[in-house]
Amino acid sequence: MGGTTILFAQVHQAARQERLLAVAILAGVLAYSFEHALLGAGRAAALAVAAALVLAIVGASLRVAHHAEVLAEKVGDPYGTMILTLSAVLVEVVVLAIMMSHESSPTLVRDTIYAAVMLDINGILGLAALMGGAETRRTRLQR
């Protein structure tokens, strides 16, 4: 009996920690199921649902970032940094792919995702260069 109680407590604790992810999945399933009814309810209802879905996406992204951070701590540098970077980029790519999945032009979808990835990678590198320069108070141009 003791082992079952401990297992139940661990599962219950894990479920409580992942409630944001569960809410995001449930919100996505409900929005997908009732998409036409929600759009037919008017502009205000559609905007309210869109705002709720954005909040659900933010909640799910926070849980993904948490898991990536835990994994990054376990593997250490430089692999941990790559895990964190790739998880952030992957979340954005998945959201873009879902948003643009009904587009008639597959090249538009591909180019949009490619542009987002390039902006993310260049933004991260630029921010790292600025932070490194601010920390050391000197920069060197190597030719």
- What distance in Å separates the CA atoms of residue 83 and residue 50, rounded to the nearest whole number? 29
Closest-CA residue to 56 (of 109, 102, 114, 98): 98
Per-residue pLDDT of the chain (143 residues; tens, 9 = 90+): 566 777 777 777 777 878 888 888 888 888 888 888 888 888 888 888 889 988 888 888 888 888 888 888 888 877 887 887 787 778 777 777 777 777 677 787 778 778 888 887 788 778 877 887 777 777 666 77
- Record the pTM: 0.60
Residue 133 contacts by C-beta under 8 Å, 6 or more apart in sequence? Answer: 139
Own/partner long-range contacts of 33-38 (Cβ < 8 Å, ≥24 apart): none
Residue 103 three-state SS: coil
DSSP for 84-103 reads HHHHHHHHHHHHHHHHTTT-
- What distance in Å separates the CA atoms of residue 89 and residue 114, rounded to the nearest whole number? 11
In eight-state DSSP terms, residue 141 is -
